[in-house]
Structure 1
Amino acid sequence: MTISKSLPDDKPRTFLGTPKLPAKYATIVMPFFLSILMSCIVSGISTFNGVGASPQFIELWLGAWLISWVVAFPTLLMVLPLVRKITGHFVDLR
């Protein structure tokens, strides 16, 4: 006889002490984090390429990152449906 332990459905799921958002918010949350990471990496590489390891690097990088993130997040929200459609032409999503 196997006894399976399962969590009660009424127990709230949390991450770092805050309740998780419902699944319907994934279409906003995923591009939010993707835009943060991608703009951070790209602006860092671009800033380093432009100014090198100068004393102002961090300040310049953070300024460039903020501007690029402000552009990247809404851009991702707009183009993600198109990217999903294009991906569907190349990948069997069944």
Structure 2
Amino acid sequence: MAALPTRFYTPVFALFMSCMMSLLMSALVTFMNTGIDAGFPQRWLHAFGAAWVVAFPLVSFIAPLAHRLTRLLVRSKVD
């Protein structure tokens, strides 16, 4: 598998992070609001789609800030 150039790190990270978080959080919120029944998968996928459309641009915008804040709080070398 060919690796992408480093400049694609942030958008690829945002794609994976937003997808995984939207998938998991929409499942949890759908379960909490409606429980699990025969219609759960359809409600979950609908909620996931709505959440991911919002999450991807937000994570794309916020990820660089989160990386900078993390670098401020986490040491790069052991003292």
- TM bucket, shorter chain: 0.7 to 0.9
Task: Report the structure number with the largest CA radius of gyration.
Answer: 1
More helix by share: 2
Task: Report the equivalent of 1:42.
Answer: 25
Question: Among the aligned pairs, what percent are the same residue?
Answer: 34
Task: Report the equivalent of 1:57.
Answer: 40
Structure 1 residue ranges (4+ consecutive) displaced by more than 3 angstroms after TM superposition: none
Matched, 1:25 2:46: no
Could you state the TM-score of these two structures normalised by the residue count of structure 2?
Answer: 0.87
Q: How many residues align?
A: 77
For 1:34 and 1:63, how far apart are their aligned partners in 2?
19
Task: Report the equivalent of 2:58.
Answer: 75
For 2:27 and 2:61, how far apart are their aligned partners in 1?
24
5+ residue gaps, structure 1: 1-13
Q: Tell me how large the CA RMSD over aligned residues is.
A: 1.3
For 1:39 and 1:92, how far apart are their aligned partners in 2?
30
Could you state the TM-score of these two structures normalised by the residue count of structure 1?
Answer: 0.74
2:58 counterpart letter in structure 1: T
For 1:85 and 1:66, how far apart are their aligned partners in 2?
29
5+ residue gaps, structure 2: none
More strand by share: 1
- Residues 49-93 of structure 1: per-residue CA shift (max 9 Å, x gap): 111011110000000000100111100111112212221221113
1:68 counterpart letter in structure 2: A
